[in-house]
Amino acid sequence: MRRILTVALTAASAAVMLLAGAAPAAAAHHLTDGASVNLIAQHSRKCADVITGSTANGAEIGQYDCNAGLNQLWRIRDLGNGYVQLAARHSDKCLDVDGASSANGAKVIQWTCGNGTNQQWKIENAGTGVTRLVARHSGKCLEVPSASTANGARLQQRDCGTGANQQWSLNTVSNPAIPGLFADPNIVRFGDTYYLYATTDGFAGWSGTQFRAFSSKDLVTWTDHGVILDVAADISWADNSAWAPGIAEKNGKYYFYFSAGKASGDTRKHLGVAVADSPTGPFRDALGKPLVPAGAYGGQMIDPAVLTDTDGRSYLYWGQGSSHQVPLNADMTSFNAAQVRTYQPANYNEGSFVVKRGATYYFMWSENDTRSEDYRVAYATGSSPTGPWSARAGVILQKDLSQGIKGTGHHSVVQAPGTDQWYIAYHRFAIPNGDGTHRETMIDRMYFNADGTIRPVVPTIVGVDPI
């Protein structure tokens, strides 16, 4: 089921400011920037739609019954000056008043995003939960002409008034779960709150240095807690390649496992562990050296994940090329090397993750290269946290080209307490023009069949309902 939520509910403080009539965008909360929204006309409850899903400059904008189409989804680009651009997700082109006309009735189109004020829109309060969209160059409002309720009615600009055909709900969808470029998400629940940690993406060679933390009560509304660890500033043995974190709690301390390396010299990756008194940090290096140095085991020392079993014992998983698995000692910062097991299922690449359901352990991993649109998730099962594991049981998450979804992988899974509801966080190529270093973090439902097998996940554009 598709769930639509207003910006006021999902984009936190900046969105509240937008709908309250304060400065419209201006980055009081960066989650507004990059959020994806439907523009819903109040009089007709239809969505602003790039007609026929065209990607051409000059394609007209009309209203149409709301659906899951990317040509009805608009990414907010906060210009920091009280105005935003609205870029269609299918084409990455901006909502534009044709020819920068200041005339009433001038048509509204999509055009390659630029610096023109005819692509800049002020979001003004028009009443509870609704807004007007005012073109900067003309001071006129986006409207459905003659208050038409017909599909295909073309949008235009006109002197601002009080009509519901000039009033719009800016309704967010929850995929990507956190706006911006993030990959390799680790989702976990501490207490009554969900937390999400990820690789900060968008850097050539995955060379980012910072980790951020996000929290949510419902898996839809996320709060950004800022940088919790910067390997360039906080880690003596690394200055680059902050990748793929995992986290666990023990006795009121939070242990943050991560991959990192050097930008020059010996650029091999190591596995580190940092500690904090809060799941939102700040974190400090727990050892002053890698927990698992490069070369200690086969493959790369990357992609840590932690399972804390029902008996309270925690297990660490990591590795590219092979998966290494070991019980952690009670201090959470060491392990007995003699207990390390190495496992390499068919098609294994990276991104190990393990959950327990009933008496069964599910070992999951990512296949193919993260730069490939065929990046995907498969799994096996076992009766203990370190196996032995069954043969590969099948693929549970992969691309869906009908929705423009590519490169789905490096996931994590969380269970809603007291239920058999499971959620999978993963990344995909950013839509429409992403690649293996420009990825977005998603959340969708994951279901088990009656026989305990995992049902293939349906990746979505719209995400999950709040829980």
Measured CA angle at 418 (ends 414, 422), to 5 deg: 30
Contact 66, 57 (CB under 8 A): no
Catalytic residue among 184, 201, 285, 440: 184
Q: Residue 74: which H helix or E strand, with range?
A: strand 74-78
Architecture of 182-446 per CATH? Answer: 5 Propeller (2.115)
For 21-73, what is the HEC assignment? Answer: CCCCCCCCCCCCCCCEEEEEECCCCCEEEEHHHCCCCCCEEEEECCCCCHHHC
Instruction: Give the model's pLDDT for residue 27.
Output: 29
Task: Tell me the H-state helices in 214-298.
Answer: 231-234
78 in catalytic set: no
**For the chain, domain boundaries:** 5-172, 182-446
Rounded to a whole number of angstroms, the distance between the first and last alpha carbons of the chain is 13
pTM: 0.85
Instruction: Give the model's pLDDT for residue 32.
Output: 60
User: HSE of 211 in the Cβ direction (CA atoms, 13 Å)?
Assistant: 35
Give SS3 for 190. Answer: strand
Catalytic residue among 143, 239, 303, 350: 350
Give SS3 for 130. Answer: coil
Gap between the Cα atoms of 218 and 215, Å rounded: 9
Instruction: Note the maximum CA span of the chain.
Output: 77
Q: Flag residues of the chain having pLDDT under 70.
A: 1-32
Gap between the Cα atoms of 75 and 61, Å rounded: 15
Give SS3 for 312. Answer: coil
CATH 2.80.10.50 fits 5-172, yes or no: yes
266 in catalytic set: no
